[in-house]
Amino acid sequence: LELRRLARELAKLWQKRIVVEFSFNKPLEIRFKKRTTREQVQESMAKFRSCTYYDQLVLCGWCCESFIQMVQDFVDGHSCLLPTAEGLDIILEMCELAQNIAGIMELAEELLPLLVLIERVLLERRVDCVPSNLSAQLGYVLTAYISHNYYYFLYSQNAPNIVQGLYRVIESQLKSSDFCLTGWGRTIAVFVLDAKKQLIETGLCSRKIEAKRELLKR
Protein backbone atom coordinates (compact mmCIF):
# COMPACT_ATOMS: atom_id res chain seq x y z
CA LEU A 1 0.00 0.00 0.00
CA GLU A 2 2.79 2.44 0.91
CA LEU A 3 4.60 1.53 -2.29
CA ARG A 4 1.50 2.24 -4.38
CA ARG A 5 1.07 5.58 -2.61
CA LEU A 6 4.67 6.56 -3.38
CA ALA A 7 4.23 5.47 -7.01
CA ARG A 8 1.18 7.75 -7.34
CA GLU A 9 3.10 10.62 -5.74
CA LEU A 10 5.97 10.20 -8.17
CA ALA A 11 3.70 9.78 -11.20
CA LYS A 12 1.89 13.03 -10.39
CA LEU A 13 5.13 14.88 -11.13
CA TRP A 14 4.90 14.15 -14.87
CA GLN A 15 1.15 13.48 -15.09
CA LYS A 16 -0.13 16.70 -13.50
CA ARG A 17 2.57 18.95 -12.09
CA ILE A 18 5.05 19.31 -14.99
CA VAL A 19 3.14 18.97 -18.26
CA VAL A 20 2.52 20.39 -21.71
CA GLU A 21 -1.17 21.17 -22.24
CA PHE A 22 -2.67 21.59 -25.70
CA SER A 23 -5.85 23.48 -26.46
CA PHE A 24 -7.13 22.15 -29.79
CA ASN A 25 -9.97 24.67 -29.90
CA LYS A 26 -9.39 27.86 -31.84
CA PRO A 27 -7.08 29.58 -31.19
CA LEU A 28 -4.74 26.63 -30.82
CA GLU A 29 -2.53 27.04 -27.77
CA ILE A 30 0.36 25.25 -26.11
CA ARG A 31 0.84 25.81 -22.39
CA PHE A 32 3.84 24.62 -20.42
CA LYS A 33 2.68 24.13 -16.85
CA LYS A 34 4.82 23.61 -13.77
CA ARG A 35 2.96 23.25 -10.49
CA THR A 36 5.77 21.87 -8.35
CA THR A 37 8.93 23.20 -6.75
CA ARG A 38 12.46 21.84 -6.80
CA GLU A 39 12.11 21.04 -3.10
CA GLN A 40 8.98 18.94 -3.72
CA VAL A 41 10.74 16.96 -6.45
CA GLN A 42 13.76 16.42 -4.19
CA GLU A 43 11.48 15.27 -1.37
CA SER A 44 9.78 12.69 -3.60
CA MET A 45 13.14 11.46 -4.91
CA ALA A 46 14.47 11.18 -1.35
CA LYS A 47 11.58 8.83 -0.54
CA PHE A 48 12.49 6.77 -3.61
CA ARG A 49 16.15 6.58 -2.55
CA SER A 50 15.15 5.31 0.89
CA CYS A 51 13.38 2.29 -0.62
CA THR A 52 15.01 -1.12 -0.87
CA TYR A 53 16.58 -2.19 -4.16
CA TYR A 54 13.67 -4.46 -5.06
CA ASP A 55 11.07 -1.83 -4.16
CA GLN A 56 12.93 0.64 -6.37
CA LEU A 57 12.73 -1.80 -9.28
CA VAL A 58 8.98 -2.21 -8.77
CA LEU A 59 8.50 1.56 -8.61
CA CYS A 60 10.53 2.03 -11.79
CA GLY A 61 8.33 -0.47 -13.59
CA TRP A 62 5.10 1.17 -12.49
CA CYS A 63 6.35 4.67 -13.27
CA CYS A 64 7.61 3.73 -16.74
CA GLU A 65 4.23 2.18 -17.50
CA SER A 66 2.41 5.32 -16.37
CA PHE A 67 4.65 7.52 -18.55
CA ILE A 68 4.08 5.36 -21.63
CA GLN A 69 0.34 5.27 -20.97
CA MET A 70 0.17 9.07 -20.72
CA VAL A 71 1.83 9.46 -24.13
CA GLN A 72 -0.37 6.70 -25.58
CA ASP A 73 -3.50 8.48 -24.31
CA PHE A 74 -2.42 11.67 -26.09
CA VAL A 75 -1.72 9.82 -29.34
CA ASP A 76 -5.11 8.07 -29.15
CA GLY A 77 -6.91 11.37 -28.60
CA HIS A 78 -7.97 10.60 -25.01
CA SER A 79 -5.94 13.42 -23.46
CA CYS A 80 -4.58 16.87 -24.27
CA LEU A 81 -1.64 16.56 -21.87
CA LEU A 82 1.91 15.41 -22.58
CA PRO A 83 4.74 14.79 -20.13
CA THR A 84 7.78 17.03 -20.47
CA ALA A 85 11.48 16.29 -20.87
CA GLU A 86 11.86 17.18 -17.19
CA GLY A 87 9.39 14.46 -16.24
CA LEU A 88 11.24 11.89 -18.35
CA ASP A 89 14.48 12.99 -16.72
CA ILE A 90 13.03 12.12 -13.30
CA ILE A 91 12.03 8.60 -14.40
CA LEU A 92 15.39 7.86 -16.02
CA GLU A 93 17.22 9.12 -12.94
CA MET A 94 15.12 6.71 -10.89
CA CYS A 95 16.16 3.86 -13.20
CA GLU A 96 19.84 4.78 -12.84
CA LEU A 97 19.56 5.01 -9.05
CA ALA A 98 18.02 1.52 -9.04
CA GLN A 99 20.74 0.33 -11.45
CA ASN A 100 17.91 -0.65 -13.78
CA ILE A 101 19.74 0.10 -17.02
CA ALA A 102 17.75 -2.54 -18.87
CA GLY A 103 14.63 -0.59 -17.90
CA ILE A 104 16.04 2.52 -19.61
CA MET A 105 16.61 0.59 -22.84
CA GLU A 106 13.16 -1.00 -22.73
CA LEU A 107 11.50 2.35 -22.05
CA ALA A 108 13.38 3.93 -24.95
CA GLU A 109 12.39 1.17 -27.37
CA GLU A 110 8.72 1.46 -26.39
CA LEU A 111 8.56 5.26 -26.21
CA LEU A 112 10.35 6.24 -29.43
CA PRO A 113 7.63 5.04 -31.88
CA LEU A 114 5.09 7.01 -29.83
CA LEU A 115 7.18 10.17 -30.15
CA VAL A 116 6.87 9.91 -33.93
CA LEU A 117 3.09 9.56 -33.57
CA ILE A 118 2.97 12.67 -31.35
CA GLU A 119 4.27 14.72 -34.25
CA ARG A 120 1.65 13.25 -36.59
CA VAL A 121 -1.08 14.32 -34.18
CA LEU A 122 0.32 17.85 -33.92
CA LEU A 123 0.64 18.06 -37.72
CA GLU A 124 -2.92 16.86 -38.27
CA ARG A 125 -4.18 19.35 -35.69
CA ARG A 126 -2.12 22.12 -37.31
CA VAL A 127 -0.49 23.06 -34.01
CA ASP A 128 1.86 26.01 -34.50
CA CYS A 129 5.19 24.70 -33.20
CA VAL A 130 8.59 23.73 -34.61
CA PRO A 131 8.24 20.26 -36.22
CA SER A 132 9.54 17.42 -34.03
CA ASN A 133 10.57 19.88 -31.32
CA LEU A 134 8.62 18.37 -28.43
CA SER A 135 9.44 14.78 -29.38
CA ALA A 136 13.09 15.70 -29.98
CA GLN A 137 13.33 17.13 -26.46
CA LEU A 138 12.16 13.81 -25.03
CA GLY A 139 14.47 11.95 -27.43
CA TYR A 140 17.36 14.14 -26.29
CA VAL A 141 16.84 13.11 -22.65
CA LEU A 142 16.77 9.45 -23.68
CA THR A 143 19.98 9.99 -25.66
CA ALA A 144 21.71 11.51 -22.64
CA TYR A 145 20.98 8.53 -20.39
CA ILE A 146 21.75 5.99 -23.11
CA SER A 147 25.09 7.73 -23.75
CA HIS A 148 25.86 7.53 -20.04
CA ASN A 149 25.44 3.74 -20.29
CA TYR A 150 26.85 3.49 -23.81
CA TYR A 151 28.58 0.10 -23.67
CA TYR A 152 25.58 -1.53 -22.03
CA PHE A 153 23.49 -0.01 -24.82
CA LEU A 154 25.74 -1.31 -27.61
CA TYR A 155 25.51 -4.88 -26.32
CA SER A 156 21.78 -4.77 -25.57
CA GLN A 157 19.30 -6.42 -27.92
CA ASN A 158 17.37 -3.13 -27.96
CA ALA A 159 20.20 -1.15 -29.61
CA PRO A 160 19.19 -1.44 -33.32
CA ASN A 161 15.56 -0.50 -32.62
CA ILE A 162 16.63 2.40 -30.41
CA VAL A 163 18.96 3.81 -33.08
CA GLN A 164 16.23 3.41 -35.70
CA GLY A 165 13.67 5.00 -33.37
CA LEU A 166 15.84 8.01 -32.59
CA TYR A 167 16.40 8.57 -36.31
CA ARG A 168 12.64 8.47 -36.97
CA VAL A 169 12.08 11.13 -34.31
CA ILE A 170 14.30 13.66 -36.11
CA GLU A 171 13.78 12.43 -39.69
CA SER A 172 11.39 15.24 -40.62
CA GLN A 173 13.88 17.83 -39.35
CA LEU A 174 16.68 16.23 -41.36
CA LYS A 175 14.83 15.73 -44.64
CA SER A 176 13.33 19.18 -45.17
CA SER A 177 15.37 22.35 -45.51
CA ASP A 178 12.20 24.21 -44.48
CA PHE A 179 12.31 22.62 -41.04
CA CYS A 180 14.52 23.95 -38.28
CA LEU A 181 17.15 21.46 -37.11
CA THR A 182 17.07 22.17 -33.39
CA GLY A 183 19.82 21.64 -30.86
CA TRP A 184 17.91 18.62 -29.57
CA GLY A 185 17.78 17.16 -33.08
CA ARG A 186 21.45 17.84 -33.81
CA THR A 187 22.53 16.05 -30.64
CA ILE A 188 20.38 13.03 -31.47
CA ALA A 189 21.77 12.99 -35.03
CA VAL A 190 25.38 12.89 -33.78
CA PHE A 191 24.52 10.02 -31.43
CA VAL A 192 22.70 8.03 -34.14
CA LEU A 193 25.58 8.52 -36.59
CA ASP A 194 28.15 7.22 -34.10
CA ALA A 195 26.00 4.42 -32.66
CA LYS A 196 25.11 3.06 -36.11
CA LYS A 197 28.80 3.07 -37.07
CA GLN A 198 29.79 1.27 -33.86
CA LEU A 199 27.08 -1.38 -34.18
CA ILE A 200 28.03 -2.18 -37.78
CA GLU A 201 31.81 -2.13 -37.35
CA THR A 202 31.74 -4.34 -34.25
CA GLY A 203 29.33 -6.81 -35.84
CA LEU A 204 26.80 -6.29 -33.06
CA CYS A 205 24.03 -5.63 -35.58
CA SER A 206 23.45 -7.79 -38.64
CA ARG A 207 20.28 -6.08 -39.87
CA LYS A 208 20.00 -2.89 -41.86
CA ILE A 209 19.43 0.30 -39.89
CA GLU A 210 17.67 2.93 -41.98
CA ALA A 211 19.49 6.09 -40.92
CA LYS A 212 20.94 7.96 -43.88
CA ARG A 213 24.47 9.16 -43.25
CA GLU A 214 24.22 12.17 -45.57
CA LEU A 215 21.17 13.46 -43.71
CA LEU A 216 22.68 12.86 -40.28
CA LYS A 217 25.73 14.91 -41.27
CA ARG A 218 23.54 17.87 -42.29
Per-residue pLDDT, averaged over 158-163, amounts to: 94
Read off the pLDDT band of 5 (50, 70, 90): very high
Please state the domain extents for the chain. Answer: 2-216
For residue 27, say if its preceding peptide bond is cis, omega within 30 degrees of 0.
Answer: yes
Q: Please tell me the predicted confidence (pLDDT) of residue 195.
A: 92
Task: Taking residues 22-40, report their average pLDDT.
Answer: 82
E-assigned strand segments in 65-136: 81-83
Kind plus residue range of the DSSP H or E element containing 33:
strand 29-34
Q: How much is the pLDDT for 35?
A: 87
Under DSSP, the state recorded for 135 is H
Q: What is the mean pLDDT of the chain?
A: 90
Kindly list the strands in the beta sheet with 81-83, ordered across the sheet, starting from the edge strand earlier in the chain: 29-34, 18-23, 81-83
Q: Minimal CA–CA distance to 22: which of 120, 114, 91, 121?
A: 121
- pLDDT of 131 reads 65
DSSP 50-80: TS-HHHHHHHHHHHHHHHHHHHHHHHTTS-S
Pairwise pLDDT comparison (35 vs 162), residue with the higher score: 162
